[in-house]
Every structure is written in structure tokens, then in C-alpha cells.
């Protein structure tokens, strides 16, 4: 294996088939680059002082207008137009790979749709004398702009607009006060992140895939700088659950009749670990009245919630609506592009006064749903949000701009409502809750009851649908009162294993451990689902995912190290603070990766064998439809002609077969057909609703019941007179 530590710095391959066209203007003009088409239109609408002239080239629209006597052109990208790739693509896979180049994203056939954006930017930039980056103000947006500047505009010089919303006033301010230079600290952090992620991803993924291939199986496996430690974290929890041995205990509960109202009271020994002790307490209290021994009442103040950062928003949306973290980010991005909320990729829980609290509330007031809430807050002498400890140098916490989303889906409306109410709640007064703790003596045994209810709702008024408090109001009680006991039960219970991670709780854990960033955690989690390493909402690590983790833990645990990943994240912050060169960080990471890959190579045979066992088990599970009439298994197969069908493993003795749809992604359902007991197959096709099929009975519904398809009634045609 090569021992070279310093990677060759990346270069780029450019498109060569751009159709030449006339310059957009005969006069010098400023080109403003945005990250997405929707943002380009917003920027143009905000900055134009005269009529906007749309310019369409290669099917992409740019916007030309004047401001302050200067001609401006706003042109969009579509996210990353350049990606890292191997400098020399070899015919045969091998590793390590350290020499890289930046190439247009459309070099991959799957991304040819991006080529027209590249060509448009090449075309419209002809004649521009000044460039401004108006891409998202974070390391990703800055890197997107920098690559376009240097590889399409042929310059590394430009100004930088900084904004957190697409509201008109914010965009005008961002333009008028644009930084004279590009934001190189963020650019450098982005370049470092891309190189680290690429080098880690391509090398470790190839190592795993080649090890599996050497063991006689083939499936493209992947791991990465953050993906591996995250999967290991999920596996660790699953191992804890699998190894968990429940411990029996006993709980003594009583139901006390207080003037016709039932009060639940539990023995002061919450868990009896010996049944005899619980039985003795039960016998001591049997047949005795409950005497009020003590009453302690107090009022507590509950502070308003903090404003949303992205991770907390994703967690709360999952809790209230069940949307995945990636789905939440996409919905929030759509709201941002409609100028309805601020930039969602933020780690901040702070709202600076300069965003104009009163102005936002006045605009929200125009949306009938929030009118009364805004009226209440606008009467306050001062508006001060309850801020959290987390800060983000680039953006404030997520907040509504006051603009109502114009084209919101039901899901977007849900996310928008949650953000608005959270924003309003941060300005509310503390909520007051009354808490009452009562102790009863039933014979010699002491029992406790607890009540709690809201006295003054304060901020809960604004956040009520999402602020969930258990309201338990105890009836009036006096010391030394006696009340009859309606029921006394000694309950058999067991300790429970730790809960599985959900998509919401794993995000919180990733943040706590410094795995990934606010903007990447959701996509990392989605990748684990896509690779079939994990499944289910309460996350279960698959057989293959477990095999990857256990093989690496045994032979190459550094790939799964959360501490190593956290160190790299801290390095990125150092780069962004301008205290270290990004090339130095990449060199250090390359040295570390070289050592790890050498160790992997020494054990690739053992790793491959472990992975192959799991892969074959997963393949068998994912292709077995059920039991054939002959007693063997019915499995999904592919003919020599490439046709897929269901056949029996007893072939050629058994020739039972069933046809399958030839298009669409086949996925085995957990449900079985109610008629024949075979597993139901789900078929997913592009831009079509999924449908379900039993290979014996045809179409079925989600319950496995035969589904009769409605026949289309032919339209009657009127006869000509």
C-alpha cells in the first residue's frame, strides 16, 4: 500500500460543449450568484428599482435590472455544481485514493440535469465586471459559490451578501453592506470538510466492498467519517437491549376514595425487589382506611421555551407530526425560500433585537390565526425572548419573518405553525404550576399521591397545542382525615430495557457527541436507511448493519471512533476561526487514514467473511416470499434473460413459479396474505403510488386482504346528428 501522506491538491475538469451566445449586456454589470432558482427570483424582486428583464438561456432564467444606476444580473446555481472525484479514475477499484479533482456534478450520468445551470452561468457571466455571492451563508453555501467563482467565472475575487431571511428589507441591507471579499474562513472550512468526507467515504467504502467481494459476495457497502460512528452508536444501544435481562419487582398501589373522587397513591417503596416484602406491606395495609398524614403544596415557575435551532426543530416536528429529520429540513427550506421563516440550518437559540420583534408581530397579526396572541404580546412594555445557551456566528435561531407562506402544503403549514407558536411563546411570561404532594398512612404503611395543574398559563397560551403537561387535580384534603381504600393491589412488574433510538433522539445524541453538523445529520441518518443498515421508526440495526459494526469493532475500531470524528469537527471550527490552514488539517487526516487503511488491509479477509455471512442472511430474508406447496422456499429470482420471477428452491424437482412486475423497486412487506400466508410484495415506481401484491392472489391492501380493482367505465360518446 502506498505510504504517501500528502494528497495532491484538487483540480477541475470543465464542460467543453457550452453553446456560445451574445453577452447579456453591452455595458459592464454585476453578477449576483444565488444557490437556488427560487432564491434568485426573491433577490431580484427585492433589489430591482425598475422593470426586471428575464433572460432565459439553456432553459434557466436569470434576472436583469438596475439599482443605483448599476446594471445587475441575478443568476442561480442549483446547489453544488462541482464535486470531488478521483483525479485518475481506474478501471479496477482499489484503495487508498488520495489524489482528487473537482469536477462538474453532471459528470455523473445521474446528474446531467445540472448541466444546463453550469452552461447558463458560463453564458451569462460573459461581460460581468463584478461578482457577488448570495449563496446560503454557511460553509456549504460559501463552498458552492467559491467553486463557481473560480471554475466558471475564472476569479477568486468577489463580494459577499450575508442574510438570514429572504425578506425584502434584509436582502436590500445585505446588498448595500456586502463584504468586500468572499468569506474565506467559511470557504476553507467547507473545502476541508469536503476533502475529509470524500477521502474517508471513498476509501472506507471501497475497503468494505472489496473485502465482501473477496469473500464471494457483492454489494456496494459504504461508511464514512460520521456515518460509521453513528451506526456504531445505534448498534451499541441495540446490543444493550439484546443483552438486557429483566429483573422482577413488585409495586404496591392503592386507590383511595376522597369524597367520591378516586386518588391513586403508591407505596413509598417504589419497587419491592423481594416479593415477600411487598406481600408483608400489602397485608399490613389490607382493610385499613387511609389517613392523611401530610400535605405539601407549592407553586413552581416554568420558563418559556428557547427559540428553535435546527436540531430541536427536527426533534419536535418528529414528536408532534412524525416527519423525518430530512423531511423537516426540506419543508423548512421551502418555507425559507418563500421568505416565511429565517434560514433553518442554524445551531443558534438566540434572537437578536435587530430582527425587529414588533415588526414581525405586527405582520403575524395580519394572519388571523395569530391575531389575538400578537395583540397580547404587543401590549408588553418590552419584548425580550427567552434565549438558550447555543449560539451560531452565521445565523440567529429560526423565526418567522411575518410573511405568510404563499404556497404551503399541509406538512409545511404544520411546520410553519410550530415555528410561529414557538417564536410567540419565547416572549410569554413564566407559567405557574401548582404542585401538591400528599402522604397517606394506610395502617403502618406510607403511600404518596401527587397532583399538578396549571394556575397561570403564561407562555403556554401561545404554545398550547404543543406544550403538553399532565393535569392531575387532587380534591381538597385536610390532615388526619380518614378516607376508605377502594383497592389495594400488589402488581408484578419487570424492569424494562433502554428505549430504542428514534430519528429524533439519535439526532440529539449525535449533537451531544459532536457527530456531523446541524445541516448534515439528517442526511447521514437517511443514508443509513438507504444503505439498509437500519430500518423502522424505532431504529433497528439490520443484520448487515450489525455485521459492519461488529467486524470493524473487532478488526479496525478507529473507523467507528466518535472521538476521532469529533476531533475533526473541532478542527473545522479552528479553520473557520482562521487559526489553521485547511490543507494542514487534510494532511493530518490523510496520515491518520493511511494508518487505518493499512490495518484494515491486514484483516480484510476476516472482515469480508463476517460481512458475507450477514449479507447472505439478509439476501435470503429479503427474497423469500414464503413456503412452497412442496415444503421448500419460494424466492425472488432472475432469469438468464434478466426477467424477475418467483421460483421454488426445490427446482428442478418443483417447477412452481409466479410472475412479478418487471418495473419498480420490490420490497418485502412484513405483512402476509390473509388467504395464502405468503409475504406481500410492495412495488414502488417513479412518480406513482406504491402498490401491494400477493404473487398468488394478486392485488391486496395493507391488511393483506384481496383487493378488487375497479374497472374503468368507458366514456359514452355522443352520436353525431
Contact 451, 433 (CB under 8 A): no
Contact 100, 86 (CB under 8 A): yes
Contact 396, 314 (CB under 8 A): no
Count of beta carbons in the 10 Å neighbourhood of residue 49: 11
CA atoms of 520 and 422, how far apart (whole Å): 24
Among candidate residues 117, 343, 370, 463, the one labeled active-site is: 343
Residue 267 has phi, psi (to 5 degrees) of -60, 145
Contact 449, 474 (CB under 8 A): yes
CA atoms of 140 and 304, how far apart (whole Å): 33
Contact 351, 397 (CB under 8 A): yes
CA atoms of 321 and 465, how far apart (whole Å): 12
Q: What are the residues whose beta carbons fall under 8 Å from the beta carbon of 451, sequence distance 6 or more?
A: 435, 436, 438, 472, 473, 474
Ramachandran sector of residue 666 (left: φ over 0; alpha: ψ -120 to 50; beta: rest): beta
Residue 655 has phi, psi (to 5 degrees) of -115, 20
Query: Which of 7, 9, 8, 15 has the alpha carbon at shortest distance from 151?
Result: 15
Furthest-apart CA pair in the chain: how many Å? 100
> Distance from CA of residue 682 to its chain's centroid?
25
* β 482-483/290-302 pair status: antiparallel
Query: Which of 219, 532, 190 has the alpha carbon at shortest distance from 345?
Result: 190
Query: What 3 state SS string does 179-236 have?
Result: ECCCCHHHHHHHHHHHHHHHHHHHHHHHHHHHHHHHCCCCCCCCCCCCHHHHHHHHHH
Is 343 among the catalytic positions? yes
Q: How distant, in Å, are the alpha carbons of 268, 330, 668 from that of 637? A: 62, 37, 14
Residue 205 has phi, psi (to 5 degrees) of -65, -40
Helix (H, G, I), strand (E, B) or coil at 434: strand
CA atoms of 100 and 590, how far apart (whole Å): 12
CA atoms of 24 and 426, how far apart (whole Å): 48
Q: How far apart are the first and last CA of the chain?
A: 86
Determine the Cα angle at 352 with ends 347 and 354, to 5°.
135
Count of beta carbons in the 10 Å neighbourhood of residue 714: 6
Contact 516, 524 (CB under 8 A): yes
What residues are annotated to the active site? Answer: 343
Amino acid at each position: 500500500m502506498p505510504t504517501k501522506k500528502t494528497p495532491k491538491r484538487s483540480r477541475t475538469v470543465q464542460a467543453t460543449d457550452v453553446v456560445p451566445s451574445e453577452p447579456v449586456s453591452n455595458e459592464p454589470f454585476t453578477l449576483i450568484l444565488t444557490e437556488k432558482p427560487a432564491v434568485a427570483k426573491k433577490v431580484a424582486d427585492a433589489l430591482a428599482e425598475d422593470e426586471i428583464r428575464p433572460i432565459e438561456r439553456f432553459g434557466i432564467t436569470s434576472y436583469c435590472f438596475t439599482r443605483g444606476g448599476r446594471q445587475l444580473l441575478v443568476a442561480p446555481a442549483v446547489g453544488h455544481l462541482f464535486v470531488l472525484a478521483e483525479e485518475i479514475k481506474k478501471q479496477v477499484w482499489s484503495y487508498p485514493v488520495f489524489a482528487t479533482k473537482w469536477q462538474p456534478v453532471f459528470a455523473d450520468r445521474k446528474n446531467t440535469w445540472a448541466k444546463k445551470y453550469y452552461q447558463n452561468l458560463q453564458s451569462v457571466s460573459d461581460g460581468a465586471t463584478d461578482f457577488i455571492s448570495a449563496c446560503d451563508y454557511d460553509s456549504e453555501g460559501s463552498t458552492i459559490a467559491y467553486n463557481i467563482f473560480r471554475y466558471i467565472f475564472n476569479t477568486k475575487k468577489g463580494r459577499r451578501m450575508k442574510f438570514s431571511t429572504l425578506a425584502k428589507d434584509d436582502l436590500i441591507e445585505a446588498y448595500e453592506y456586502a463584504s468586500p471579499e468572499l468569506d474565506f474562513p467559511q470557504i476553507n472550512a467547507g473545502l476541508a470538510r469536503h476533502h475529509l468526507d470524500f477521502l474517508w467515504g471513498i476509501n472506507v467504502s471501497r475497503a468494505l466492498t472489496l473485502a465482501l467481494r473477496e469473500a464471494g459476495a457483492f454489494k456496494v457497502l459504504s461508511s464514512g467519517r460520521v456515518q460509521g460512528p453513528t451506526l456504531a452508536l445505534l448498534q451499541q444501544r441495540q446490543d444493550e437491549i439484546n443483552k438486557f435481562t429483566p429483573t422482577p419487582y413488585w409495586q404496591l398501589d392503592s386507590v383511595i376514595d376522597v369524597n367520591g373522587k378516586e386518588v391513586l397513591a403508591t407505596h413509598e417503596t417504589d419497587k419491592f425487589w423481594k416479593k415477600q416484602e411487598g406481600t408483608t406491606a400489602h397485608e399490613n395495609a389490607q382493610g385499613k382506611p387511609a389517613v392523611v398524614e401530610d400535605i405539601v403544596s407549592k407553586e413552581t415557575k416554568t420558563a418559556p421555551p428557547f427559540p428553535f435551532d435546527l436540531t430541536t426543530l427536527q426533534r419536535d416536528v418528529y414528536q408532534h407530526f412524525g416527519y423525518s429529520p430530512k423531511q423537516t429540513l426540506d419543508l423548512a427550506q421551502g418555507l425559507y425560500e418563500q421568505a416565511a421563516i429565517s434560514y433553518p440550518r442554524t445551531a443558534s437559540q438566540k434572537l437578536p433585537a435587530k430582527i425587529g420583534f414588533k415588526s414581525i408581530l405586527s405582520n403575524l397579526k395580519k394572519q388571523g390565526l395569530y391575531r389575538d396572541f400578537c395583540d397580547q404580546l404587543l401590549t408588553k412594555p418590552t419584548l425580550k425572548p427567552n434565549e438558550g445557551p447555543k449560539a451560531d456566528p452565521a445565523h440567529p435561531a429560526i423565526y418567522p419573518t411575518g410573511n405568510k407562506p404563499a404556497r404551503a402544503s399541509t406538512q409545511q403549514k404544520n411546520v410553519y405553525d410550530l415555528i410561529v407558536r414557538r417564536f410567540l411563546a419565547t416572549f410569554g411570561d413564566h407559567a405557574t404550576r401548582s404542585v401538591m404532594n400528599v402522604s397517606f398512612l394506610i395502617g403502618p404503611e406510607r403511600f404518596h399521591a401527587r397532583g399538578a395543574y396549571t394556575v397561570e398559563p403564561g407562555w403556554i397560551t401561545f404554545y398550547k397545542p404543543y406544550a403538553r403537561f399532565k393535569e392531575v387535580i387532587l380534591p381538597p384534603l385536610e390532615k388526619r382525615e380518614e378516607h376508605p381504600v377502594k383497592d389495594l393491589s400488589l402488581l408484578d412488574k419487570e424492569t424494562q430495557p433502554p428505549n430504542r433510538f428514534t430519528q429524533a433522539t439519535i439526532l440529539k445524541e449525535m449533537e451531544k457527541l459532536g457527530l456531523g453538523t446541524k445541516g448534515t445529520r439528517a442526511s447521514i441518518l437517511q443514508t443509513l436507511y438507504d444503505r439498509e443498515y437500519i430500518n423502522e421508526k424505532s431504529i433497528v440495526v439490520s443484520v448487515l448493519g450489525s455485521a459492519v459494526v461488529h467486524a470493524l469493532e473487532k478488526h479496525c475500531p478507529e473507523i467507528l471512533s466518535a472521538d476521532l470524528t469529533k476531533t475533526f469537527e473541532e478542527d473545522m471550527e479552528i479553520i473557520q476561526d482562521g487559526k489553521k490552514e485547511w490543507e494542514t488539517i487534510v494532511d493530518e487526516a490523510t496520515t491518520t487514514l493511511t494508518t487505518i487503511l493499512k490495518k484494515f488491509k491486514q484483516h480484510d479477509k476476516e472482515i469480508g467473511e463476517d460481512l458475507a455471512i450477514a449479507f447472505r442472511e439478509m439476501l435470503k430474508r429479503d427474497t423469500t416470499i414464503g413456503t412452497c406447496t412442496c415444503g421448500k422456499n419460494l424466492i425472488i429470482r432472475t432469469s438468464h434473460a434478466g426477467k424477475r420471477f418467483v421460483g421454488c428452491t426445490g427446482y428442478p424437482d418443483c417447477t412452481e413459479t409466479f410472475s412479478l412486475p418487471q418495473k419498480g423497486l420490490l420490497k418485502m412487506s412484513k405483512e402476509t396474505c390473509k388467504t395464502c400466508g405468503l409475504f406481500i410484495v410492495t412495488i414502488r415506481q417513479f412518480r406513482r403510488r406504491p402498490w401491494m401484491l400477493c404473487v398468488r392472489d394478486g392485488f391486496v391492501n395493507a391488511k393483506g386482504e384481496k383487493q378488487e380493482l375497479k374497472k374503468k367505465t368507458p366514456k359514452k360518446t355522443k352520436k353525431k346528428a
